[in-house]
């Protein structure tokens, strides 16, 4: 069901994420929308955020009959005041935040439908990609994680990429942002380890059928994954207790195996 600012009721149905409140950025489509819908079906209260309100409401409508609840809060993750307001609305509505999925991200394909070598990248494009992919994560963490600490624990999932662990020509700004995200994740994990907050990176393990890859040539579309590829791993990571796995970075399939072993 969808909870508005002034109305809402709790469901008696439960799931693996019952009792959790999760903020998902970039939730209006693709990987973010798929994960957010899965979390609601698993019983979580899910705060859907992105810049486009209409798309967010469409996602919420798809899970209106699910056990969990949704709250739509449009926001630009690069705007600190907007992020602060996003978290405040989440706390006002649900009382706490126990999970954060930093999924919002852009790259050169998002901006120009093409890759560009580093020497051809304009400063404003470099700054835009770093701002969304890295600064946006920092701002969401800065304002959401204190609630997790107050709640006695929580889970942060930073959506990374295989390009956060290897180089690739034509992807300079995106690679820099994801390598930065990997280091940021490990550092944050170390800093909040004693507070019961787990911090990990998750990536799909390949190219996904989302708008990010809409302009990929047909010759490069073999093996493109479905947008739900990270749903199971993300759900299991968010269900972790204060003593869960932290400070790791794996693709979705490898995460599932890693969690089976834990």
Q: Give the contacts of 254 (CB within 8 A, at least 6 positions apart).
A: 205
Residue 261 has which token pair? Answer: 């072993």
Q: What is the CATH number of the domain that holds 125?
A: 3.40.50.720
Within-domain flag for 13 = no
Looking at residue 2, what is its pLDDT?
42
Q: Cα separation of 169 and 118, whole Å? A: 8
End-to-end CA distance of the chain: 33
Looking at residue 6, what is its pLDDT?
28
Q: Is 112 assigned a catalytic role?
A: no
Within-domain flag for 76 = yes
Within-domain flag for 7 = no
Within-domain flag for 16 = no
Under a CB-based contact definition with an 8 Å cutoff, are residues 75 and 102 in contact? no
In the chain, the number of structural domains is 1
CA dihedral sign, ordered 220, 222, 227, 229:
negative
Within-domain flag for 164 = yes
Within-domain flag for 3 = no
Q: Which of 174, 179, 184, 255 is catalytic?
A: 174
Range of the domain at 115: 21-261
Task: Report residues of the chain scoring pLDDT below 50.
Answer: 1-12
Within-domain flag for 55 = yes
Query: CA 54 → CA 37, 172, 214, distances in Å?
Result: 16, 32, 21
With left for phi above 0 and alpha for psi between -120 and 50, is residue 196 left, alpha or beta? Answer: left
- Taking the model in full, what pTM does it have? 0.89
Looking at residue 219, what is its pLDDT?
59
Mean pLDDT over the full length of the chain: 89
Number of H helices, E strands in the chain: 9, 7
Q: What's the DSSP call for residue 132?
A: I
pLDDT tens-digit profile of 40-51?
999 999 999 999
């Amino acid at each position: 069901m969808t909870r508005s600012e002034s109305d809402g009721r709790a469901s008696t149905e439960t799931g693996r994420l019952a009792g959790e409140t999760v903020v998902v950025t970039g939730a209006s489509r693709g990987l973010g929308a798929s994960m957010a819908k899965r979390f609601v079906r698993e019983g979580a209260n899910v705060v859907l955020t992105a810049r486009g309100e209409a798309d967010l409401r469409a996602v919420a409508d798809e899970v209106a009959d699910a056990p969990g609840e949704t709250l739509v809060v449009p926001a630009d993750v690069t705007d600190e005041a907007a992020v602060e307001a996003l978290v405040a609305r989440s706390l006002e509505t649900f009382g706490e935040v126990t999970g954060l999925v930093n999924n919002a991200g852009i790259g050169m394909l998002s901006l120009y439908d093409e890759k560009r070598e580093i020497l051809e990248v304009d400063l404003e494009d470099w700054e835009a990609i770093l701002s969304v992919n890295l600064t946006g994560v920092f701002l969401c963490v800065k304002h959401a994680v204190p609630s997790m600490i107050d709640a006695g624990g929580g889970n942060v999932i930073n959506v990374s990429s295989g390009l956060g662990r290897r180089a690739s020509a034509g992807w300079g700004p995106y690679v820099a942002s994801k390598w930065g995200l990997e280091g940021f994740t490990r550092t944050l994990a170390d800093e909040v380890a004693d507070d019961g907050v787990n911090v990990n990176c998750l990536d799909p393990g390949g190219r996904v059928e989302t708008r990010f890859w809409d302009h990929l040539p047909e010759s490069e579309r073999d093996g493109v994954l479905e947008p739900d590829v990270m749903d199971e791993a993300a759900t299991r990571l968010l269900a972790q207790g204060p003593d869960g796995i932290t400070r790791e970075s794996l693709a979705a399939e490898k995460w599932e195996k890693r969690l089976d072993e834990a």
